[in-house]
Amino acid sequence: SVVEMDFYHAGALLPLSDDAILEKVKAYLDQMVPAFRPAKVIDAAVVRLPNAVNWYFPGSYRSCPEIRAASLENVYFAGDVVRTRHGSWSQEKAYVTGIQAANSLLGHEVDSGVVPLLPTEPHVAAGRSATKLLRGALGFGNEQNGPSLANFLW
């Protein structure tokens, strides 16, 4: 098995040695998933990315992999960059796609055990509708041609 653990707002971990961080990770995993207690770490990589964030851009979704690799029959993907219809993002999406990848691997229904998102809250739905209308107007009738927030950040 391959397990990845990410720590956010982890400035206190940055000065620790790789071994100290691995000890913490193993202890946390053992606490969260008791079945991991007898597991041994046989390979590990500690990556420190202070002040780093994921950045998705318009159109990047098309480049994201599906849960199951298209070209390798025994490769499955999980994480926040995996294409899924669940609608969650970041750590929640990584969790959901992990369940979906395991379900696919085991031959179960892909969404078995996955809790669907609640319907969009009214103020969020209104904001999305307003944004869609504005992008359509600025895109001369085609919202895909209208600017997104990302256009104003560079």
Q: DSSP states of 66-112 as a string?
A: PSB-SS-TT-B--STTS--SS---HHHHHHHHHHHHHHHHHTS-TTT
For the chain, the first-to-last Cα distance in angstroms comes to 40
Q: What is the pLDDT of residues 36-51, one digit of tens each?
A: 999 999 999 999 988 7
- Report whether pLDDT(154) > 80: no
Dist CA 6 CA 22 (whole Å): 12
Of residues 13 and 117, the one with the higher pLDDT is 13
Least confident of 17-26, 27-36, 92-101, 136-145: 136-145
3 band by pLDDT with thresholds 50, 70 and 90: confident
| Average pLDDT, integer, range 49-77 | 83
φ and ψ of 81, to 5 deg: -100, 5
The residue with tokens 């971990």 is 13
- Look at residue 39 in the predicted model and tell me its pLDDT: 92
- Counting residues of the chain whose pLDDT is more than 70, the rounded percentage is 94
Dist CA 104 CA 77 (whole Å): 10
| Length of the chain measured in residues | 154
Of residues 151 and 14, the one with the higher pLDDT is 14
- Report whether pLDDT(152) > 70: no
- Look at residue 149 in the predicted model and tell me its pLDDT: 62
Tokens of 17: 């040695």
